[in-house]
């Protein structure tokens, strides 16, 4: 109990000055993030331009996409400076979308299978 | 009980952040989002619901593409432009991506100047953001026109799976609508900032409430979200 009280005063003192007043960050931070987003977009465009194929293409696309999304949410949308109560409230529910994806993949496979069985077409790709 | 609520609605003494703070923020009979205004919290919750909408669109696209027995058109070729006799793959989409990222950068700086109460710079940067947004919508209109001329319809296209057209028009159309609404939103708020509504505490035409510079940040949240959605569309629809 005593430990908790100490922690409260230590942590509680820090954010009040910096955070409760509106967030002030140097413009340079935004320019750096902006530059990174440009480079990442260029990288993902290059994946297509040079025609990278297969597993490498998909992993590169996903990695660049997640890095860009992370930068936008964390810095442009100021999520990095929010309290955990808001961060979890917003960032955890989209996990349901991933569950939905996991449900629809076997569903799509099943549809393809029945189409092949009943229409006898050869799979396209 | 009422007293407890009152203490918190006054200048909040922030409990510790981190996991301990997360538990106490959500567990107790008090305001959950401590230093976040209702306007900002509601914008975040709206954006979360929008995430589900776009998530469902992209999942529908994934399901259609995975289950079709007809080849999927190659987006790299479909969205290529001929510039100076060379076929450059996906070039228009790349330019659109850069334009939208640039507009996000200017928006982030507008939010920053807003909190410094720099009226002119804030309004100017918001206006620049709106112009980039309008340019994006213009390029999208060009892209749609080109594809429609080439025979892409929601029910058929010359290159392969019919679902290509329906998912393309649905997803990019919904995103373009979001960008258009964002441009209108930006222009309205930029006008208010320019006029000095948040310095003179002029009341809003619709709510009759006094506005604050925070609305610039809330507008920014929406605008960055539009950019965020484009990141996913770019990866999954155009690059995949």
Q: What percent of chain A has pLDDT over 90?
A: 50
pLDDT at res. A122 = 58
Which two three-digit tokens encode residue B12? 């909040």
pLDDT at res. A23 = 61
Which two three-digit tokens encode residue A12? 């509680």
Closest B-chain CA to A91? B48
- The pLDDT-based confidence of B3 (bands split at 50, 70, 90) is very low
The verdict on B214 touching A (C-beta cutoff 8 Å) is: yes
Which two three-digit tokens encode residue A121? 């077409």
The verdict on B95 touching A (C-beta cutoff 8 Å) is: no
Flag whether pLDDT at A18 surpasses 60: no
Centre a 10 Å sphere on the Cβ of residue B17 and count the other Cβ atoms it contains.
Answer: 20
Name the nearest CA neighbour of B102 among A24, A30, A64, A80.
A30
Q: B83 forms bridges with which residues in the sheet?
A: B86
Distance from CA of B206 to the nearest CA of A (A): 26
152-171 in chain B: CB under 8 A from chain A: 160-161
pLDDT in tens, A19-77: 444 567 888 899 999 999 999 999 988 888 888 888 999 999 999 999 999 999 999 99
More confident: B196 or A8: B196
pTM of the model as a whole: 0.86
pLDDT in tens, B15-51: 778 888 888 888 877 788 888 889 999 999 999 999 9
Name the nearest CA neighbour of B47 among B220, B239, B163.
B220
Is the distance from CB of B103 to CB of B67 less than 8 angstroms? no
Question: Is A24 close to B112, i.e. CB distance below 8 A?
Answer: yes
Which two three-digit tokens encode residue B44? 């975040």
CA–CA dist A60, A14 (Å, integer): 39
CA–CA dist B64, B72 (Å, integer): 10
Specify the CATH architecture of the domain B37-239.
Answer: Up-down Bundle (1.20)
- Please return the burial class of B93, using the count of CB atoms within 10 Å of its CB with bins 0-12, 13-18 and 19+: buried
- DSSP state, residue B81: E
Flag whether pLDDT at B167 surpasses 50: yes
pLDDT at res. A8 = 40
The verdict on B141 touching A (C-beta cutoff 8 Å) is: no
pLDDT at res. B144 = 94
Flag whether pLDDT at B94 surpasses 80: yes
Q: B87 forms bridges with which residues in the sheet?
A: B82
**Nearest by CB to B227, which of A20, A72, A75?**
A72
Question: Is B108 close to A30, i.e. CB distance below 8 A?
Answer: yes
Cβ contacts of residue A112 below 8 Å, gap of 6+?
Answer: A123, B66, B67, B68, B69
- HEC sequence for chain A: CHHHHHHHHHHHHHHHHHHHCCCCCCHHHHHHHHHHHHHHHHHHHHHHHCCCCHHHHHHHHHHHHHHHHHHHHHHHCCHHHCCHHHHHHHHCCCHHHHHHHHHHHHHHHHHHHHHHHHHCCCCCC
**Nearest by CB to B90, which of A16, A45, A89?**
A45
89-118 in chain A: CB under 8 A from chain B: 89-90, 93-94, 96-97, 100-101, 104-105, 107-109, 111-112, 115-116
Flag whether pLDDT at B9 surpasses 50: no
Q: Domain residue spans in chain B?
A: 1-35, 37-239
Question: Is B98 close to A41, i.e. CB distance below 8 A?
Answer: yes
The verdict on B83 touching A (C-beta cutoff 8 Å) is: no
Distance from CA of A10 to the nearest CA of B (A): 8
Please, what sign has the CA dihedral across residues B163, B164, B165, B170?
A: positive
- The pLDDT-based confidence of B84 (bands split at 50, 70, 90) is confident
């Amino acid at each position: 109990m005593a430990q908790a009280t100490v922690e409260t005063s230590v942590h509680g003192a820090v954010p009040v000055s910096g955070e409760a007043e509106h967030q002030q960050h140097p413009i340079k931070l935004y320019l750096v993030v902006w530059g990174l987003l440009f480079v990442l977009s260029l990288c993902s465009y290059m994946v297509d331009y040079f025609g990278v194929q297969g597993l490498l293409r998909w992993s590169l696309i996903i990695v660049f996409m997640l890095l860009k999304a992370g930068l936008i949410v964390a810095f442009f949308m100021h999520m990095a400076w929010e309290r955990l109560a808001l961060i979890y409230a917003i960032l955890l529910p989209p996990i349901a979308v991933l569950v939905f994806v996991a449900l629809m993949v076997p569903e799509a496979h099943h549809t393809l299978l029945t189409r092949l069985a009943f229409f006898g077409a050869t799979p396209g790709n | 009980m009422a007293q407890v609520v009152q203490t918190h609605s006054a200048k909040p003494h922030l409990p510790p952040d981190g996991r301990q703070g997360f538990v106490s923020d959500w567990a107790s009979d008090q305001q959950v989002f401590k230093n976040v205004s209702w306007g900002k919290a509601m914008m975040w919750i709206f954006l979360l619901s929008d995430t589900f909408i776009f998530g469902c669109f992209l999942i529908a696209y994934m399901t259609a593409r995975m289950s079709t027995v007809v080849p999927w058109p190659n987006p790299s070729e479909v969205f290529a432009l001929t510039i100076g006799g060379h076929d450059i793959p996906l070039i228009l989409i790349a330019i659109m991506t850069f334009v939208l990222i640039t507009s996000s950068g200017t928006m982030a700086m507008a939010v920053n100047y807003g909190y410094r109460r720099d009226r002119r710079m804030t309004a100017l940067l918001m206006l620049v953001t709106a112009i980039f947004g309008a340019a994006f919508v213009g390029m999208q209109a060009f892209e749609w026109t080109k594809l429609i001329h080439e025979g892409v319809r929601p029910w058929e296209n010359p290159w392969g799976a019919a679902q290509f057209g329906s998912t393309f028009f649905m997803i990019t159309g919904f995103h373009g609508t979001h960008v258009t609404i964002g441009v209108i939103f930006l222009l309205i708020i930029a006008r208010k900032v320019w006029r000095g509504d948040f310095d003179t505490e002029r009341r809003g035409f619709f709510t009759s409430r006094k506005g604050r510079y925070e609305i610039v940040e809330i507008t920014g949240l929406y605008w960055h979200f539009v950019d965020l959605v484009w990141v996913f569309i770019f990866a999954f629809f155009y690059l995949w």
